[in-house]
Amino acid sequence: MKRGSWIAASVSGAVIMALALLWQGLENAKTAADWLRMLSNSALLAGVILAGIGALAWVSDEHFFDGIRYAASSLFSHLRGKPKRYATYYDYIHREKEKGGGFSMVVPGLIFLGIAILLTGLYYAV
């Protein structure tokens, strides 16, 4: 995994967390329990978004959706009256495969989910 993609995913998660905090209204936090609840909610949102999108991208990188992509590409080529890029499904699945980086979003997403669990535990302890 590239370090830059992990850093970008972590920064994206921090931005999502900050925006979620602003959306909840910082002036609504009166006590430490309110702050912990708001931070936990924000970390949960960032974790779910990063882990969910990362998991879908990772599964896609493993070519799980190739059949659906080929069928949609063939249908749209037919509707536009253009020839298909790949004559058969066999040609499509044996094309030059590009490297993806979906897994690099899963790990920061799981870290944000762990932070959310920790903050929720602290919320209930306060």
Q: What is the dihedral of CA 94, 100, 102, 108, to 10 degrees?
A: 150
94: DSSP letter: T
- pTM (2 decimals)? 0.75
Q: What is the pLDDT of residues 14-27, one digit of tens each?
A: 999 999 999 998 88
Q: What is the pLDDT of residue 96?
A: 65
Q: Are the beta carbons of 116 and 20 closer than 8 angstroms?
A: no
Q: What is the pLDDT of residue 101?
A: 62
Where would I find the beta strands (DSSP E) of 1-126? none
Whether residue 1 is predicted with pLDDT greater than 60 in this model: the reply is no
- Classify 97 in phi/psi space as left (phi over 0), alpha (psi -120 to 50) or beta: beta
Q: What is the pLDDT of residues 46-94, one digit of tens each?
A: 999 999 999 988 887 777 788 888 888 888 887 888 887 777 777 777 7
> Amino acid identity of 62?
E
